[in-house]
Structure 1
Amino acid sequence: MICLKICKDSTAEDLEPIASAVHSLLGIPTTIRSVNGKGIRMEKGEVVDWDYTGPILEKVLEEKTTIRTVPKEGVYKGKAVAVTPIKTPDGEIVGALGVVDLVAALDILSVFREYPGIIDEVEEARKRHT
């Protein structure tokens, strides 16, 4: 039997199944690391870095809270990211998991300004399928 367990000392290889699952589900760049070890960075369906950390992953481990921001340095400099701590049931932080935050990157107001009929189209499509 295979059982996934994460701890403060988990290696990149230990964390890969979790990163892979999140990356496969969302299809966006995904990062993960443990408290005491570097982790991985996944893009376009593959691991592109087996010794990864980033400034926001590190900040989340330090501050012990979810952070949504645009990094000023690192691989994802200038791109919106969302990073959250990985906690044990008793609240101990063992790692951090992050993704490029596509929702934050969208300028919804400009989309609606450029396509004013989009709400009507969505509503019409919804009516046809209910």
Structure 2
Amino acid sequence: MASKLVQLQSKACQAKQFLAKNGGAYYKKLLEENKQYIQNPPTVEKCNELSKQLFYTRLASIPGRTETFWKELDYVKNIWKHKSEMHVPELGIATLFGLECFCWFCAGEIVGRGFTFTGYYV
């Protein structure tokens, strides 16, 4: 355990040195590439205005999102009603989608527990 701590400290020190050496140049390059998104002058009032614009724009998009959700739900209901008419490729896609959802659920559970695996003794 102590050797892993020393390795972690070593890697952290290397990362710190890399950032100290290259961080400023990367920061300047990033700002230069994205200068069209920067508001001048960068005041608190402008930041508050932009955050309100983002919030209310997202709020205004909710009706469109709910409409899309109900359309997709109706599509899934229709497929479920006519499941006997589904072909093998469609069943494969549905199976892969279900498997992907299950894997994301499992990954979310692991992340929620702080990246610990419970119930397994290694």
**TM-score, normalised via structure 2 length:** 0.24
**Structure ranking higher on relative contact order (CA contacts 8 Å, 6+ apart):** 1
User: Which is higher, the Rg of structure 1 or of structure 2?
Assistant: 2
Q: Which structure dedicates a bigger proportion of its chain to helix?
A: 2
